[in-house]
Amino acid sequence: MIALYKMSDSLENQIGKLFQGVGYKTARFYSVNALLEQIMNPMVIITPAIYQKELEALQVPILPLSIRLDDIERTKEKKGLMNVSSKKCCVVASEEEIKWLKKEYDENPRIPLHFVSKEEFFSAGIQPDRVYVAPVWMKDLLTHSHSGTVQLIKPSLSSLISSIQMAISIDKLTASIAMERYQVEAIVKSAHDGVVAVDHEGRITVANEHAKKLLGLQDGVKGHKITEFIPHSDLMRILATGKIEMGDIATVMGRQIVINRFPVIVKGKIVGVVSSFKEITNIQKMELKLRKMLHQSGLEAKHRLSDIVGRSSELIKAKELAQRFAQTEATVLITGESGTGKELFAQGIHLASPRVLGPFVAVNCSALPESLLESELFGYEEGAFTGANKGGKVGLFELAHGGTLFLDEIGEMPLHIQALLLRVLQERTVRKVGGERVVPVDVRIIAATNRKLEEEIREKKFRTDLYYRINVLNVELPPLRDRLIDIPDLLEAIVNQFNEKRESKIVSIDQEVYTLFKAYDWPGNIRELRNIVERMVLLEEGTTLTVQSGEFLLQKLNRNKSQKDLSDLSIKVNERELIEAALKKYFNNKTKTAQALGVDRSTLWRKLKEYNL
Ligand SMILES: Nc1ncnc2c1ncn2[C@@H]1O[C@H](COP(=O)(O)OP(=O)(O)OP(=O)(O)O)[C@@H](O)[C@H]1O
């Protein structure tokens, strides 16, 4: 902004038009207060030299207008003052203007001139042997009695133009400086940290809102010494030492904050200090958020050992072992059929281990083709192969650094990768595909398999040396059919989870459902149990989970049963309960019940008699 301050109307109009001609707008001001309201806008002020002093405190660029010796001579010629040789010609101006005019005059004193300041002029009054000239902006200062006696002089067009050119180039410069200042201010404002900066005397130059809140400072602290608010401020120490201080912990207004302090050094001199600080609880919140993000990206374990449901002695023993193994750094091998909870145990071990704050990275070794598994595990360097990402790729080993890498279905791992894995386990370093560098990694391995690795070794599908490396500690998870006692707890836990997740309203479970579930042999183990319960909950219209919604399971069960001997099933099945459930479901219709159970009517009659039904 080009501000014109306290100018005579005619001069103001002339300058305004000149600026307009080159595409600039001007604004007129007549008081310092009016200027102060605009002070946040970058501006250049053009003002008669006489007012320069009253604007100095604003700390914005000021271009003083003044008359030149040429302007005086031209006026004298024009007004015929040259011929008044008997009278002395006096120039009335401000002290500042006189200083510059005298310099010009001393260089080239073509006509005799006297210079009097406006103060001298007012005290001495008009002398009869003198003629007076003054710059046009003195007009308002002269009283009525002076008019006519004092000739007013305007700066020439050429000196106005050079002032305008100067103003434009300063305006451009201040605009770009202001842009940078706004950016810095925006950064400081938007920072999540409190930021306070002081100058070399310890006066506050910046204090963002966070800082004011954390330190209990009011608005308007700028310009005040920091010691007025914090008597023993550590910033004064940095002003003296010039040393960076990081991660200092202090209690301010009952809050624990962590503080960093940086000296501002310009050309070897300490000109200020910037400090940034954050409440520790905020850091903890951020850590929590980060952990949530890790969790979403699959890098965090969510199940604890205590979340693992079941009361069978086999499961309790496995949980106790896992708890103990968690405290060690040794590799753990978890064995068990698919869906028995191997990954759940791996997560539980990680969360019970000292690596709990590190990442938990799971990879299913059977899900990827050999070439991809290698680059997933170890990463690759840029340009390792056609189609490789620019910048390369970080492998899962590196991602799991400081945490746990869960290698699921390790029995499916190709022999070539088994060899690479063995080397990583021995050397604790990884080499990326297509790279020379080795990167040290600190990763705990938990492996899982549903295969009998001893058999795989015999068939030369699994390396013996790797087997001994990973099978340091072993947790064996029995299949669900061998621990039917866990079913009620599992069933209830899963129903509760669905209730929470889907807001379903199952409040009770029919006894027949337990019976039905105990009759089934669960080849897919707990995963299958989960899926079936989910399906039943979805099909269920009431608030009780009934066998009606599990009809599909009943049919499945019957198909299995028709292939087996009933007496074989009776080992695991409470036959009586099952028949009762089927009868109820088919409203005592014996034909349908027999069909559903996969037996002929005579067998059903025999059983009804046997169980007194
Ligand atoms: N004891 C348990 N309590 C509660 N939920 C369980 C339990 N065991 C397993 N589950 C649940 O069963 C499902 C399968 O578990 P998980 O993926 O851990 O099995 P897995 O043995 O690793 O299977 P796979 O070998 O097929 O990878 C998961 O949804 C898991 O939460």
The CATH number of the domain holding residue 257 is 3.30.450.20
DSSP 12-54: HHHHHHHHHHTT--EEEE-SHHHHHHTTTS--EEEEEGGGHHH
Window from 1-15, 179-193, 308-322, 384-398 with minimum mean pLDDT: 384-398
Give the span between the Cα atoms of 242 and 301, in whole angstroms. Answer: 45
Q: Is the CB of 312 under 6 A from ligand 1?
A: no
Asked if residue 425 lies in contact with residue 473, where contact means CB atoms within 8 angstroms, the answer is no
Reading the block at residue 234, the tokens are 């550590």
The pLDDT of residue 572 is 36
Domain final residue pick, 478, 504, 522: 478
Window from 197-206, 485-494, 540-549 with minimum mean pLDDT: 540-549
The pLDDT of residue 571 is 35
Q: Is the pLDDT of residue 202 over 50?
A: yes
Contacts of residue 516, Cβ cutoff 8 Å, sequence gap at least 6: 547, 550, 553, 554, 557, 578, 581
Q: Is the CB of 341 under 6 A from ligand 1?
A: yes
Q: Cβ of 603: how many Cβ atoms within 10 Å?
A: 13
Distance 225 CA to ligand 1 centre (A): 63
CATH number of the domain residue 377 falls in: 3.40.50.300
The verdict on residue 178 lying in a domain is: no
Domain final residue pick, 138, 172, 206: 172
Asked if residue 200 lies in contact with residue 270, where contact means CB atoms within 8 angstroms, the answer is yes
The verdict on residue 267 lying in a domain is: yes
Among 72-81, 195-204, 243-252, 285-294, top mean pLDDT goes to 195-204
Q: Is the CB of 449 under 6 A from ligand 1?
A: no
Count of CA atoms in the C-beta half-sphere (13 A) of 100: 13
Same domain, 429 and 347: yes
- The 10s digit of each residue's pLDDT in 313-323 is 999 999 999 99
The pLDDT of residue 417 is 94
Place of tokens 């305004």: 16
The pLDDT of residue 297 is 55
Q: Is the pLDDT of residue 561 over 60?
A: no
Show the CA angle centred on residue 265, arms to residues 260 and 271, nearest 5°: 95
The verdict on residue 286 lying in a domain is: no
Q: Is the CB of 339 under 6 A from ligand 1?
A: yes
Question: Closest ligand 1 atom, CA of 526?
Answer: 12
Same domain, 103 and 250: no
Same domain, 100 and 165: no
Give the span between the Cα atoms of 258 and 251, in whole angstroms. Answer: 9
Q: What is the mean pLDDT of residues 466-475?
A: 94
Q: What is the ipTM of this complex?
A: 0.96
Same domain, 491 and 584: yes
Pairing of strands 429-431, 438-440: antiparallel
Domain final residue pick, 450, 478, 506: 478
The verdict on residue 184 lying in a domain is: no
Give the span between the Cα atoms of 225 and 379, in whole angstroms. Answer: 55
Please name the residue ranges forming H helices in 250-408: 280-296, 313-326, 342-352, 370-378, 396-399
Same domain, 28 and 89: no
Closest CA to ligand 1's atom 16: 341
Single out the residue of 235, 160, 153 nearest to residue 194, CA to CA. Answer: 235
Same domain, 330 and 358: yes
The verdict on residue 140 lying in a domain is: yes
The verdict on residue 235 lying in a domain is: yes
Same domain, 515 and 588: yes
Rounded to whole angstroms, the maximal C-alpha distance in the chain is 153
The verdict on residue 81 lying in a domain is: yes
The verdict on residue 185 lying in a domain is: no
- The 10s digit of each residue's pLDDT in 207-233 is 999 899 888 888 888 889 999 988 888
Q: Is the CB of 308 under 6 A from ligand 1?
A: yes
Segments of 51-162 assigned E as strands: 62-65, 88-93, 114-117, 130-135, 150-153
Give rounded-to-5 percent helix, strand, coil for the chain. Answer: 50, 20, 30
The pLDDT of residue 313 is 94
Closest CA to ligand 1's atom 13: 527
296/432: higher pLDDT: 432
Same domain, 546 and 504: yes
CATH number of the domain residue 61 falls in: 3.40.50
Same domain, 96 and 200: no
Same domain, 45 and 165: yes
- The 10s digit of each residue's pLDDT in 47-63 is 998 898 888 888 889 99
Structurally, the chain folds into a number of domains equal to: 5
Same domain, 470 and 506: no
CATH number of the domain residue 557 falls in: 1.10.8.60
| Domain residue limits at 103 | 69-154
382/496: higher pLDDT: 496
Same domain, 313 and 462: yes
